[in-house]
Amino acid sequence: MLPVLLKCYLGKSGDARNMLVLYDRTLVVIFKGKRMDFPLTSIKGLVISRKKLIIPLVIGGIGTCFSWLALSLGWYHYQTNLFLVFLFFGWMYYGFLGKDGLELLEGKERHVFLIKANHFVLNTFLKFSKERMFQTPPQRESISFHLAKKTDWEAQDQSTLYTHPSLDSEGFIHTSYLSELKISYEKYFHPEDHLVLLGIDLSKVEPDVKIEEVPSRGALFPHVYGKLNKSAIVFLRTIESAQDLDIKTIE
């Protein structure tokens, strides 16, 4: 199962039936329990717009007209007709005001999902996703790697920042160049550990990055002195064994 880069709910927090899930190269929309996968390369736009609700608008409009007609002609009970006028007018007004909708443009297709999410959280998610859609391919020499326990990574799937216990204990987050990655894996992790591998473009890291020598290893390591902005993560994958670390190219 692919690790999640970022997650955002379309309704109340924790509602897994209505959410956005961003993977390495795919945006997944789960709306009313139905899942739709969109490769990032196929998405042409992501916007929030106000959408009128057609059914309440039409039913409310027709009901208001008939109720007003019945009221003016004295049909049925006066108070009942008056109540229906206000009821249907309320429905019509509700449909006219509408709801916020997330529009996803995929080629010539337009997908609309009604939302109740916190706008700040959703806008942050959309901004992050758009940056990832149009990011330039990284240079091989600017890539470093970080291994994280899967449980630690998943606990931060709603944040655009990633932190590690070493930031508190040592003041920085460890990363390794490709040549040292397997050694780091074998030295600090066990085969039964469930891990996630982050490929980090050092040129996009917002905190200070220092290339420092570790005497016990006789090699240089990039250290990130602060919480890592996830926008610098150029790929993300699950690691089950040392064989998964045989990375020949950055796809």
Q: Rounded distance, CA 142 to CA 125, Å?
A: 25
pLDDT-derived band at 28, boundaries 50, 70, 90? very high
Domain coordinates of the chain in residue numbers? 6-51+99-133, 54-97, 140-245
Domain spanning 140-245 has what CATH number?
3.20.170.20
Which H or E run contains 85? helix 78-97
DSSP 2: P
Residues of the chain with pLDDT > 70, as a percent, come to 96
The predicted-structure confidence for 63-91, as pLDDT tens digits, reads as follows 888 887 877 777 777 778 778 888 888 87
Residue 155's SS3 state is coil
Mean pLDDT to the nearest integer, 116-139: 83
Mean pLDDT to the nearest integer, 137-162: 90
- On the question of pLDDT at 172 being above 80, the answer is yes
Q: Tell me the residue type at 45.
A: G
Of the candidates 23, 238, 249, the residue with the CA atom closest to the CA atom of residue 139: 249
> Averaging pLDDT over each range in 88-92, 95-99, 170-174, which range is the top one?
170-174
Q: Rounded distance, CA 80 to CA 70, Å?
A: 10
- Helix 78-97 × helix 54-73 angle, to 10°: 160
Of the candidates 121, 250, 83, the residue with the CA atom closest to the CA atom of residue 178: 250
- On the question of pLDDT at 55 being above 60, the answer is yes
What pairs with residue 173 in β-bridges?
A: 224
pLDDT-derived band at 248, boundaries 50, 70, 90? low
- On the question of pLDDT at 27 being above 70, the answer is yes
The predicted-structure confidence for 212-242, as pLDDT tens digits, reads as follows 998 888 899 999 999 999 999 998 999 988 8
Mean pLDDT to the nearest integer, 171-187: 92
Contact 158, 209 (CB under 8 A): no
The architecture in CATH of the region 6-51+99-133 reads: Roll (2.30)
pLDDT-derived band at 249, boundaries 50, 70, 90? very low
